[in-house]
C-alpha cells in the first residue's frame, strides 16, 4: 500500500524542457532563451505542480506482494526495487527544484497507458478494426492527469518506470515523434559524451540518427541505457543493487528483439535485431559484467554473418574454397552495425586472449578515415587492423611475417586533426606501444623482460601520466592492461592499478576497470611476483581465473 504526500519546498520555476533536460533555466517568458539557443522546443512553464510523492509504508509491502502469483500483480509491482537501505540520498544535500523531471506526459508514458487498456495479445491487435494511430491519439489527451501522477510514482520507484515503458511497449503503429526521439538521444548521449574521444563528425552522426529513428528496438535500448546510467550516477555507492534491478529488463528486450526470430525476416529486420543485440551487449559489458557482454556478442555472430553474406563486397573465397570476411571492406561498410561488431570482435579477442569470432582476410590496408568509430574509442584504424591481424595469426599459430607488421606500426603517424591536442596525441601514441607489446609478447612469444617490451611500458606510463586527471583518460584502459601485464617495476604497477580503479562509472569502454585490476593483481602475485618476467599466456591464465567466459 502506498500513500501520497506533498513534496516540501516551492513549486519549480523552470520551463518544462529545462526540467526534463535537467538544465538551469533562465526563466525567460514566454519561451526560455536557453532552449531556443540550444535548438530545443520550449514547452513553457505549465501550471502549478502539486508534485505528489509515493512512499512505501514499510518493507513488508513488497514481501506481501511477492506471495501473490504474477498474474494478479500490477506491472509496476512486478519490477524489483533496489534495497532502500542502500539507495538513499544525503538528507543534508541541496535540493534543486530545477532538477525535477518534466511533468508533461511523454509519448512513452501515453503508450504505456494505451497498452494497459488494450488486450496484450498481438492477435487481438491485428484483428482490431480500429486504427491504432487514431485510438492512441484520442487516449493520449484523455489521460494527461493520470500520466502526471504515474510519472512521479515511477520516478521514485527507479527501474519500475523503465519496466512499464519497455515491457508494455509502444503501440505497434505509433512512430516516435521526432522531438521525443531527439530528447531520448540527447539524454543517451549526455551520459557518454563527456567520455567520447572526440565529438562525432556530422557525416557519421546524421545517417546513424536517421537509421535509429526507424528502429523501435534501438529506441528502447537507448532509453533503457540512459535510465540505467542515470541511476548509476545518482546512486554510485549502490551500483550493485541498482544494476540488479535492470538486468531483467535487458534480458526481456533481448528476448523480444533477438531471440524471437523466424526464417521469413527481411534483411532490414535482421539488421535491426542485430543492432539491438550489439547495444545490449555494450550495456552488459559496461554496467553488468564483461562475461555476460561477451556471451551476448557471441549470440550476435549468426546475424553478422547473415548480413555479410548478403553483400559480395564483404566476403571472399580463398584458394582452399573457404569463405572469409574482408576486414578492411567490412570496417568501411555503410552499415554502422557491421563496423561496430568488427571493432568489438577485435578488442575482445585481444583483451580476453581468445580467438576472434570471425575468420578475416586482410587483403588491403584499411582506409584511415573509413570506419567512423575512432571518435568513440580513439583507436587508429591502422592499429585496429594490426590488432585484429595478430588475433587471427595467434589463432592459427602463425608467426612468419611479424617483421612487416612491426615496420607498419613504427611507420604509422597520427592524423593531423589530433596534432594540436596533447591528450589525444597521448592516447593515440600509446596505441602504437600497446600493439608493439602485443606483437612481441602475444605473437612472437617473448617475455616481459625483453628490452623492446620494457621500452614500450615506460612510454605508456609516461603518456598515461599526462591524461590521468582528464576525462579522456578513460581511453587509456587498454594501455593500462597491456602496460600492467608487462610492468616489472612496482611504481609502474601502482600507477596502472590506480588508473584502472579510477575508470569506474565512465562506461565508454567494453570492460570494467575493477575487474581487470583484479586480473593484474592475480598475475602480479602469481607468476609475476616481485617483478618476475611473464608471458602473454600467463596473463590469459589470470584473466581466465578472474573473468571466466
Instruction: Tell me: do 31 and 124 sit in the same domain.
Output: no
Residue 284's CB is within 10 A of a number of other CB atoms, namely: 23
Whether 540 maps to a domain, the answer reads yes
Question: How high is the pLDDT of residue 269?
Answer: 87
Check whether residue 29 and residue 122 sit in a common domain: no
**Residues 353 and 485 reside in one and the same domain:** yes
- The reply to whether 29 and 113 lie within a common domain is no
Tens place of pLDDT per residue across the chain (549 aa): 444 444 455 567 788 878 777 778 888 887 888 877 766 777 787 654 444 444 443 333 323 332 333 333 333 333 333 343 333 333 333 334 333 333 333 333 333 333 334 433 333 333 333 433 334 344 433 443 333 333 333 333 444 444 444 444 333 333 444 555 566 556 555 555 555 555 555 555 555 666 666 677 777 777 777 777 777 666 655 556 667 777 777 888 888 776 656 667 889 889 888 988 998 898 888 778 889 899 999 999 999 999 999 999 999 988 888 889 999 999 888 888 899 899 999 999 999 999 999 999 998 888 766 555 665 567 888 999 999 999 999 999 888 889 999 999 999 987 665 555 777 888 889 999 999 999 999 999 999 999 999 999 999 999 988 887 776 767 788 999 999 999 999 999 999 999 998 877 555 567 888 889 999 999 999 999 999 999 999 999 999 999 998
Q: Which of 174, 189, 217 is the last residue of a domain?
A: 174
CA–CA gap between residue 549 and residue 546 (Å, rounded): 10
Burial class (CB within 10 angstroms; exposed 0-12, middle 13-18, buried 19+) of 85: exposed
**What pLDDT, on the 0 to 100 scale, is given for residue 512?**
81
Residues in a beta bridge with 78: none
> Is 70 inside a domain boundary?
no
- Same structural domain for residues 48 and 152? no
User: Which SS3 state, helix, strand or coil, does residue 52 take?
Assistant: strand
> Which of 149, 174, 199 is the last residue before a domain boundary?
174
**Residue 192 forms part of a structural domain:** no
Helix 107-116 to helix 132-142 angle (10° resolution) is 110
Q: Kindly state whether residues 56 and 118 are assigned to the same domain.
A: no
Per the DSSP assignment, residues forming a β-bridge with 56 are 2
pLDDT (0 to 100) of residue 132? 37
Q: Among residues 123, 147, 174, which one ends one of the domains? A: 174
Q: Which of these, 32, 87, 25, 90, lies nearest to 56 by C-alpha position?
A: 87
- On whether residue 267 sits in a domain, the answer given is no
Number of H helices, E strands in the chain: 27, 5
Check: CB of residue 453 under 8 Å from CB of residue 437. yes
The reported pTM is 0.65
Give the pLDDT of residue 306.
93
Q: Which of 108, 217, 226, 228 is nearest to 168 (CA)?
A: 108
Q: What is the pLDDT of residue 465?
A: 86
Q: In whole angstroms, what is the distance from residue 470 CA to residue 489 CA?
A: 25
CA distance 337 to 342: 9
Phi, psi angle pair for 53, to nearest 5°: -135, 135
15 plus 160 within the same structural domain: no
End-to-end CA distance of the chain: 43
Indicate the pairing of strand 315-317 with strand 52-56. unpaired
Burial class for 389, CB neighbours closer than 10 Å (0-12, 13-18, 19+): buried
Examine residue 349 and state whether it is found in any structural domain, yes or no.
yes
Residues 453 and 508 grouped into a single domain: yes
Q: Are residues 456 and 403 in the same domain?
A: yes
| 126 vs 472: CA distance, rounded Å | 50
Q: What does the alpha-carbon distance between residue 543 and residue 527 come to, in Å, rounded to a whole number?
A: 13
| CATH number where 9 lies | 4.10.240.10
Single out the residue of 441, 362, 469 nearest to residue 408, CA to CA.
362
Distance, CA of 16 to CA of 52 (rounded, Å): 17
Number of domains in the chain: 3
Domain co-membership, 32 together with 107: no
Q: How many CA atoms lie within 13 A of 321 on its CB side?
A: 0
Partnered with residue 4 across adjacent β-strands are 54
For residues 18 and 164, membership in a common domain is answered with no
pLDDT at 87: 33
CB 49 within 8 A of CB 138: no
Any domain includes 157: yes
In a domain, 33, yes or no: yes
* The three cell numbers locating residue 327: 576486414
Residues 82, 245: contact at Cβ < 8 Å?
yes
Which domain, by its residues, includes 112?
75-80+102-174
Residue 231's pLDDT is 72
DSSP state of 505: T
| 242 domain residue, yes or no | no
380 and 477 assigned to the same domain: yes
Residues in the chain: 549
Amino acid at each position: 500500500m502506498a500513500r501520497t504526500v506533498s513534496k516540501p519546498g516551492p513549486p519549480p520555476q523552470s520551463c518544462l524542457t529545462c526540467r526534463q533536460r535537467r538544465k538551469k533555466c533562465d526563466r525567460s517568458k514566454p519561451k526560455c532563451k536557453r532552449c531556443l539557443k540550444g535548438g530545443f522546443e520550449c514547452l513553457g512553464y505549465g501550471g502549478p505542480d502539486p508534485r505528489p510523492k509515493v512512499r512505501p509504508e514499510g518493507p513488508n509491502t513488497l514481501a506481501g506482494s511477492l506471495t501473490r502469483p504474477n498474474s494478479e500483480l500490477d506491472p509496476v509491482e512486478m519490477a524489483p526495487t533496489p534495497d532502500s537501505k542502500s539507495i538513499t540520498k544525503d538528507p543534508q544535500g541541496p535540493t534543486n527544484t530545477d532538477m525535477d523531471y518534466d511533468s508533461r506526459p511523454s509519448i512513452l508514458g501515453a503508450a504505456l497507458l494505451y497498452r494497459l487498456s488494450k488486450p496484450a495479445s498481438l492477435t487481438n491487435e491485428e484483428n482490431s478494426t480500429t486504427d491504432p494511430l487514431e485510438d492512441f491519439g484520442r487516449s493520449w489527451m484523455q489521460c494527461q492527469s493520470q500520466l502526471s501522477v504515474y510519472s512521479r510514482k515511477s520516478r521514485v520507484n527507479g527501474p519500475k518506470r523503465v519496466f512499464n515503458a519497455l515491457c508494455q511497449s509502444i503501440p505497434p503503429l505509433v512512430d516516435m515523434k521526432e522531438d521525443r526521439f531527439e530528447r531520448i538521444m540527447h539524454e543517451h548521449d549526455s551520459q557518454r559524451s563527456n567520455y567520447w574521444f572526440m565529438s562525432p563528425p556530422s557525416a557519421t552522426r546524421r545517417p546513424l540518427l536517421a537509421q535509429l529513428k526507424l528502429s523501435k528496438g534501438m529506441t528502447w535500448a537507448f532509453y533503457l541505457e540512459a535510465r540505467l546510467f542515470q541511476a548509476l550516477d545518482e546512486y554510485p555507492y549502490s551500483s550493485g543493487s541498482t544494476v540488479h534491478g535492470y538486468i531483467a529488463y535487458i534480458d526481456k528486450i533481448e528476448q523480444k528483439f533477438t531471440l524471437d526470430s523466424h526464417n521469413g525476416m527481411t534483411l532490414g529486420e535482421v539488421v535491426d535485431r542485430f543492432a539491438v543485440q550489439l547495444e545490449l551487449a555494450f550495456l552488459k559489458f559496461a554496467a553488468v559484467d564483461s562475461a555476460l557482454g561477451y556471451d551476448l556478442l557471441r549470440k550476435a555472430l549468426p546475424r553478422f554473418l547473415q548480413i555479410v553474406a548478403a553483400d559480395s563486397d564483404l566476403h571472399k573465397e580463398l584458394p582452399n574454397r573457404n569463405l572469409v570476411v574482408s576486414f578492411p571492406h567490412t570496417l568501411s561498410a555503410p552499415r554502422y552495425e557491421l563496423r561496430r561488431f568488427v571493432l568489438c570482435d577485435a578488442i575482445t579477442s585481444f583483451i580476453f586472449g581468445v580467438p576472434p569470432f570471425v575468420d578475416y582476410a586482410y587483403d588491403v590496408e584499411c582506409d584511415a578515415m573509413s570506419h567512423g568509430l575512432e571518435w568513440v574509442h580513439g583507436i587508429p584504424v591502422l592499429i585496429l587492423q594490426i590488432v585484429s591481424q595478430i588475433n587471427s595469426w595467434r589463432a592459427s599459430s602463425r608467426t612468419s611475417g611479424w617483421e612487416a607488421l612491426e615496420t607498419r606500426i613504427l611507420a604509422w603517424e597520427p592524423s593531423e586533426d589530433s596534432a594540436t591536442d596533447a591528450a589525444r596525441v597521448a592516447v593515440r601514441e600509446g596505441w602504437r606501444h600497446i600493439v608493439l607489446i602485443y606483437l612481441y609478447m602475444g605473437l612472437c612469444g617473448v617475455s616481459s623482460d625483453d628490452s623492446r617490451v620494457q621500452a614500450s611500458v615506460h612510454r605508456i606510463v609516461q603518456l598515461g601520466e599526462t591524461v590521468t586527471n582528464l576525462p579522456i583518460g578513460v581511453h587509456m584502459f587498454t594501455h593500462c592492461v597491456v602496460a600492467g601485464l608487462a610492468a616489472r617495476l612496482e611504481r609502474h604497477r601502482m600507477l596502472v592499478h590506480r588508473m584502472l580503479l579510477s575508470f569506474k562509472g565512465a562506461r565508454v569502454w567494453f570492460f570494467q576497470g575493477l575487474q581487470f585490476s583484479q586480473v593484474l593483481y592475480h598475475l602480479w602475485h602469481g607468476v609475476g611476483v616481485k617483478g618476475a618476467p611473464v608471458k602473454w599466456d600467463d596473463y590469459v591464465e589470470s584473466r581466465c581465473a578472474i573473468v571466466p567466459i
